[in-house]
Amino acid sequence: MGRPALSAVVHVSPRAAHDVSTDGGIPGMLSSVVLPGVTTWNAFILPLVVLNSEDQWTLPLGVMHFASTYSSDAARTLAFTVVSLIPALVFYVIAERHIVGGLTAGSVKG
């Protein structure tokens, strides 16, 4: 006899699958993709250790390298930092309604 947790049969009713696939499930699914995506986007230590060449670095690593190279030029460093924020800001502006809807969907009943 196997372990009960491993031998359990998972059954998803067609109605439950339909409920998730309608408009009500999209904000929740989008939030479950966005939050790990933000964590990956902001990753610093793992790429610093794993990636060997500068052409593979993530944006946070590039900002750190740029800031250490041009530490005497604050305006250039701040400009590079602002430019590196543009992709995240554009994504947030486009997906903000779905992100907030997904985060608040299950918090209040009524």
Q: How far apart are CA 47 and CA 69, in angstroms?
A: 19
The pTM score is 0.50
Query: What pLDDT, in 10s, does the model give residues 30-70?
Result: 777 777 877 777 778 888 888 888 888 888 888 888 888 88
Q: At what angle do helices 26-41 and 74-104 cross, to 10 degrees?
A: 150
pLDDT, average across residues 25-33: 74
* Chain-centre distance for alpha carbon 74: 29
